[in-house]
Amino acid sequence: MGKIPRESADEMIKHWLLNLAVEHPVWLGCLFPAVDAEGLNVKPLPRCKALDYARGLLELLDAGMIKLSSEVSGDDVESGLGAARVLDRFVRLSNDDPALCRAGRLLPMYERNRLPGMQVEFELTPRGGEAWERVAEPDWSRLFTVSRDSTSGELISPDRDLLMALMGWYSEIHHGETIQRDTIRWQTHTDYAILYWKRVPLVCHASFGLQAAEAPWPGWGPEWFRDWYFSAVSWHRKPWDLPGWPPESQE
């Protein structure tokens, strides 16, 4: 159950790609010319090259599990041949490309995203979401979403107790901000789109005002708090925790 066969590296690549786009569409510049593991908060697949990722994306497209979108004039992302041409453009990118680099280093993401031909992303379809679920075995009750700006915030989750805990520890999680408790508004919603491709039967929704506050502790605080938080917000199995993940020693 939830196992990718060890002998099927291609299946692991495809699941890894699906996992990238579970919560948000993914800009292809995060994969090409090199995986931005820190920005994506993932472990890169050992020995996986740009061509492997492109082949995996094409297979997922053919299977109807993802779709591409492009803001680049002339891009055809609806046909297989057009999508292959778009992906080939990204595969041909290089860490040494002077258009992508400054002083021998890749430009920051926000600068690369402005370059001609770079405005392409992929997202899950419902079929891709179902395929991801079969392997990742998500506990949807543990998922939460957060949105905030300098004056207000929202938390949404099917799990009321998790939502209350996240609100109670808000200052420790979001350093320098605290919830104005007299502004809290509580709602519930049915048949709710918790992610852009996934609906759940019921969620709790807390909205509130925010104000500046002194951070309770530096960084993520003591180990016991970090352990609790990362355990509390873990809601599915990561690709690198699956039996078929390639050993680091073979990179």
pLDDT tens string 58-71? 999 999 999 999 99
pLDDT tens string 104-160? 888 888 899 999 999 999 999 999 999 999 999 999 999 999 999 989 999 999 999
Over 50: is that where the pLDDT of 176 sits? Answer: yes
142: its two tokens? 């543990």
CATH number of 9-137: 1.10.10
Over 60: is that where the pLDDT of 3 sits? Answer: no
Average pLDDT of span 232-248: 90
Average pLDDT of span 18-47: 94
Q: How far is CA 65 from CA 14, 62, 129, in A?
A: 10, 8, 7
What's the pLDDT score for residue 105? 87
pLDDT tens string 112-124? 999 999 999 999 9
- Higher-confidence residue of 244 and 171: namely 171
Over 60: is that where the pLDDT of 14 sits? Answer: yes
Average pLDDT of span 181-202: 97
Domain ranges of the chain: 9-137, 140-232
Over 70: is that where the pLDDT of 217 sits? Answer: yes
Confidence at 1, pLDDT banded by 50, 70, 90: very low
Which of 1-5, 15-19, 181-185 bottoms out in mean pLDDT, i.e. has the lowest?
A: 1-5
CA-to-CA distance for 166 and 238, rounded, in angstroms?
Answer: 22
